[in-house]
Structure 1
Amino acid sequence: MAERKWTEAQVPPQHGRTAVVTGANTGLGLETARVLAARGASVVLAVRDAEKGKRAAERIAGTAPGAQVTVQRLDLSELASVRRAADELRAAHPRLDLLINNAGVMYTPRTLTRDGFELQFGTNHLGHFALTGLLLESLLPVPGSRVVTVSSMGHRIRARIRFEDLHGERSYDRVAAYGQSKLANLMFTHELQRRLDAAGVPTTAVAAHPGIAATELIRYSPAALRAAVRALGPLLGQSAARGALATLRAATDPHVRGGDFYGPSGPFQARGRPVPVGSSARSRDRDLQRRLWTVSEELTGVRYPV
């Protein structure tokens, strides 16, 4: 199989495996869940709106008869909700094969979560950091288990971890805040993989990004950007189904290595088949990764078992 020809048809059979996909009621998450369910996995749609989750489950069942799909309410912007969801998931699924940290928000006006975090950093990074830590013991004993975190090309755009102003209290730039959260996703993946390696467990941490994909994520973007995406999206970007291929490859390709980053193969990584791609030098800074990990533990109150 040529790398640049990788499609959802290359997803290996997933029978007997359980996958949790956050933000799976629409867009990339829905497409990821659809393919995993069609290949035989038992898939949990972890979503903020349970009714939308149920409709998504019905859509998946309509395209994949016999699919095993359930819905778990999860609001990543509220740590209490993350803890409740993790408790319920552990009770229902003591063994997990895949945790796909897909949900996210983009370019929102400055808003605080219930815990006082800037919304993009709180949802995209801290919520997933907490969820992963709370579910990790269900993944650690499982051969081939993976944590896949969806980042973005935005991790390169005006992106740094503003430790002195994580929540935009002094100044706020929605693009920079999004970049910070997506940079944090990559730094989290690398630091988690180092800890998994040190523990000698079979779980791996991988990251992916969809390029420019047609999803609802841009709904908070400036009007000019939304218009440009609508006009140029078919030329520069790709569908949600194509965008989800990087996540699916990161989650299921047997040749994936811990710490890998998958994205589209085309120009500027905007579209194309999923291949290993590079990330910014800042995302690979080990000192910054460790510092972010420590801060994330302090903010969420979640300590990892590795």
Structure 2
Amino acid sequence: MVWSTADVPDQRGRTALVTGASGGLGLETARVLASRGARVLLACRDTERGIAEAARVGGMAEVVRCDLASLESVREAAAQVRRRVDRLDLLVNNAGVMFPPYRHTEDGFEAHFGVNHLGHFALTGLLLGLMHEVPGSRVVTVSSLAHRAAARATRPDEARSASGHRSVTAYGRSKLANLMFARELNRRLTGAGAQTVSLAAHPGLSATGLWHSGAPAWLRPVAATGLRLLGQAPDQAALPALRAATDLLLAGGGYLGPGGSAECGGGAVPARSNRASQNELAQIRLWELSQELTGVRYARSAGRRHADRRVTESAP
């Protein structure tokens, strides 16, 4: 039986925050959650566009300004969320850039790594205090098939590199970081005895706005062919993240993607990931690097063999 939006359970009484929710997969995710009764916070860089989309989403949809390319903006967004709500049931780390038209974030990080990973790492750490006592709460981080293009995580000397502006490898490493973060976060949450679990998902291949922001010339015909033959609409591509967020039978630590040809389209099912994404020591090193670079430190506990596992809200 293929899982669909019809399988999303009643979300009344739940509050969700979705990053990158002013378009594409994030907007579709927010729309479905709102249609099931959730209060949905659309975390958007462009608030004017976000407000317009929130009106179309309907239900209890509202906008929080959050520019993941700025750690100051991330901190302000987290503070605003904490002022508005006293609990958070779902955090969907969906926003991302691919071949962006700039080389560095406001804080000087390579754009893919800074936006796709570090911004979400910081935001999650600053919001977990609203989640870890909430039964059924979930953090869902959206990765990509492109993580398989990365044989390893970003190194400290590459975090501020200017060479990843239009690099497939840099994008792949950022999506590998998303998957590694989701798995390490789940281990730490489990070790802390938190109610929250962490999962990851990828959308397969979908014609969203990411493909129109400066892909290298050699990749454009390849992408166009792939999208034509294997691509799917955003409402279908959002299914893995929606299932990870709402199917409470799924255990923490899971990774979902489309079940069709080459995982490019089809129903939401358990997905494959590369060896690098399963390297626990590399996950710990990435976690420690992310804490150092963002200033958001997750609290320590003695229950971890290689590193601390207890997770609480922290401020930089």
Cα distance between partner residues in 2 of 1:171 and 1:45: 31
Residue type at the aligned position of 1:34? R
Q: For residue 95 of structure 1, give the secondary structure of its aligned residue in structure 2.
A: coil
What is the distance in 2 between the residues matched to 1:30 and 1:171? 31
Query: Whole-Å Cα distance in 1 between the matches of residues 152 and 99 of structure 2?
Result: 16
> Which residue in the other structure is 1:257 paired with?
251
- How far apart are 1:171 and its partner, in Å? 4.7
Q: Which residue of 2 aligns with 1:191?
A: 184
Deviation at 1:223, TM superposition (A): 4.2
Say whether 1:248 aligns with 2:242.
yes
SS across alignment from 2:32:
helix
1:85 aligns with 2:74: no
Q: Provide the residue aligned with 2:14 in structure 1.
A: 17
Unaligned regions of 5+ residues in structure 2, if any? 300-310, 312-316
Distance (whole Å) between structure 2 residues aligned to residue 206 and residue 153 of structure 1 = 16
Structure 1 unaligned segments of length 5 or more: list them: 62-66
Residue-by-residue CA offset, 1:245-283 (whole Å, 9 max, x unaligned): 000000001211111000000121011000011211110
Call closer, same or farther: CA 1:289–1:232 in 2, change over 3 Å: closer
- Does residue 304 (structure 1) correspond to residue 298 (structure 2)? The answer is yes
Distance 1:170 1:119, change over 3 A: closer
- TM-superposed CA distance for 1:234, in Å, is 3.7
Give yes or no for contact 1:110–1:174 (8 Å, CA) kept in 2.
no
1:138 aligns with 2:130: yes
Is residue 2:110 matched to residue 1:113?
Answer: no
In the alignment, what sits opposite 2:196?
203
Shift of 1:97: 0.1
Query: Aligned-residue CA RMSD in angstroms?
Result: 1.5
Q: CA deviation at 1:225?
A: 3.4
How many Å separate the matches in 1 of 2:261 and 2:285? Answer: 33
Structure 1 SS opposite 2:104: coil
Match of 1:268 in 2: 262
Report the Cα distance in structure 2 between the residues aligned to 1:80 and 1:261, rounded to whole angstroms. 30
User: Aligned residue for 2:273?
Assistant: 279
Amino acid at match of 1:225: L
Q: Indicate conservation of the 8 Å contact 2:109/2:161, yes or no.
A: no
Distance 1:127 1:170 in 2: 18
Q: Is the 8 A contact 2:110 2:159 kept in 1?
A: yes
The TM-score normalised by the length of structure 1 is 0.94
Q: 1:214: how far off?
A: 1.3
Residues 104, 160 of structure 2: 8 Å contact kept: no
Report the equivalent of 2:139.
147
Contact persistence 1:159–1:176 (CA under 8 A): no
Distance in structure 2 (CA, Å) of the matches to 1:265 and 1:292: 29
- Aligned residue number for residue 100 of structure 1: 92
The CA deviation string for residues 82-103 of structure 1, in whole angstroms up to 9 with x for no partner, is 0000001011012000000000
Cα distance between partner residues in 2 of 1:162 and 1:97: 30
SS in 1 for 2:172: helix
> Contact 2:104/2:162 (CA < 8 Å) preserved in 1?
no
Q: Return the offset for 1:164.
A: 4.7
Name the amino acid aligned to 1:97. Answer: D
Q: Distance in 1 between matches of 2:102 and 2:151?
A: 16
| TM-fit CA distance, 1:298 | 0.3
1:124 corresponding residue in structure 2: 116
Q: Deviations over 1:186-211 (max 9, x none)?
A: 11011101100110111000000000
| AA partner of residue 38 (structure 1) | S
Quote how far apart the aligned CAs of 1:127 are.
0.1
SS in 1 for 2:88: coil
The answer as to whether partners of 2:132 and 2:194 remain within 8 angstroms in 1 is yes
Question: Is contact 1:23-1:46 (8 Å) kept?
Answer: yes
Paired residues in the alignment total 298
The answer to whether the Cα contact below 8 Å between 2:152 and 2:173 also exists between their aligned partners in 1 is yes
